[in-house]
Amino acid sequence: MASVLIPAAYLAVLVIALLIFGRIYRKREAASRRLEPWFPAHHERDVYVSLLQCNPPAHDGLIKAALVRRAVADVHRIFRLREDKVALSNLLQRGSISDDLWTSFLAAEKELEAEILEVVTEAETFKQGWGNLIFQTAAEIVQNEKLREGMNKVFHSRPQLGKSRLTEQ
């Protein structure tokens, strides 16, 4: 009987020690691993806030333009979150990403919602009803930028096609 208890006790102590070590190791690893923010620093928001705090005050047109640029940056972030959400939810369902990354993504969504509300309230201080229109305007600006980018690509590739046809003749 004693010959069976000693190896069983040894195995129990060994398993308990490994479980304790594993738990401590995972806690330390999780504490040392910090996820970077989903988006880089919000330069447009910083510019807008610095214009508001200028002494003497900046011109209203300049402040409004900075607010629109801030809304444009937010629209870019909205589009990126929409694209990333589909991919991340699929990866999360498969178990390919950690819950920490998903939590970080959800925190970025909440932060963006707060930013949108702040932009809308700031727009309402300039003109009543502008809060409803500022993001429509920003979305149009983003679409215009994408269209202009595509046209520039076509324009810059077109002369190369013309040159290659001239050299063939």
Q: Give the residue, 15 or 159, on which the prediction is more confident.
A: 15
pLDDT tens-place string over residues 83-101: 999 999 998 888 888 788 8
pLDDT number for residue 27: 77
pLDDT digits (tens, 9 = 90+) for 92-137: 888 888 788 888 899 999 999 999 999 999 999 998 999 889 999 9
pLDDT of residue 63: 92
Give the model's pLDDT for residue 73.
Answer: 95
pLDDT of residue 86: 93
Work out the pLDDT band at 3, boundaries 50, 70, 90: confident
Q: Quick one: pLDDT at residue 137?
A: 94
pLDDT tens-digit profile of 19-74?
998 888 877 776 666 777 788 888 999 999 999 998 888 889 999 999 999 999 99
CA–CA separation, 113 and 145 (whole Å)? 23
Exposed/middle/buried for residue 65 (C-beta within 10 Å: 0-12, 13-18, 19+): middle
Residue 163's pLDDT is what?
Answer: 54
Q: Are 9 and 31 in contact (CB under 8 A)?
A: no
Q: Confidence class of residue 168 from pLDDT cuts 50, 70 and 90?
A: low
